[in-house]
Amino acid sequence: MQITNELLGKFLVTKINGILSSGMIVEAEAYRGVIDRASHAYNGRRTKRNEIMYGEGGSAYVYLCYGIHHLFNVVTNKKDTPHAILIRAIVPKDGVDVMIERRGRSVSKTFSNGPGTVSAALGIKTLHSGVSLFDDLIWIEDRGVKFGKKDIITSPRIGVEYAGEDAKLPYRYRLNEQLISEMINEWHS
């Protein structure tokens, strides 16, 4: 869970078709592989879609949800330990004009506050699954933004009720709403 917490305040950056865009990660959820009923790799399940989760950490795992939403995850563990972190929300920072064009709407509190809208804003698609996050297409940057423990809310994940008791695990990390609103107002007013 430490990596999930540490991703808050980092910037998810893309350079799709030569166009740079980024946003600060403000919400993320952890998935603990074979022991986590909410994980695509629960009980050792391996499919063409989730095989990237079994690879070395530092890759993108992007899958299609409900046939329309491309959801971006960071593969985080060693080979054959399928842990991943879903990036649930960002505050747009660089390339806002292109993100507005991709999303078809102006920046607001709900502009990129769900995993499908994060990928849409940054131009991430399932074709990017397996991409190394150490290259120049999609990467994570540390720009020195830090938050205190009081600024971070930990809670159960969203939309995984099918996972029974595992749905109640406190694997969702997010910045408090006031901080997010202040960043949106500062960066986009």
- Which pLDDT value is given to residue 91? 95
The structure's pTM equals 0.95
- Tens of pLDDT, residue by residue over 127-177, are 999 999 999 999 999 999 988 889 999 999 999 999 999 999 999 999 999
Count structural domains, the chain. Answer: 1
Q: Which domain holds residue 44?
A: 2-188
CATH number, domain with residue 94: 3.10.300.10
Q: Is 122 exposed, middle or buried (0-12, 13-18, 19+ CB in 10 A)?
A: buried
pLDDT in tens, 5-32: 999 999 999 999 999 999 999 999 999 9
* pLDDT value for 1: 65
Q: Can you state the angle between helices 115-122 and 96-103, rounded to 10 degrees? A: 120
**pLDDT for position 136:** 96
Contact 75, 84 (CB under 8 A): yes
Taking only the tens place, the pLDDT of each residue in 64-113 is: 998 889 999 999 999 999 999 999 999 999 999 999 999 988 888 788 88
Q: Average pLDDT in the 42-69 region?
A: 94
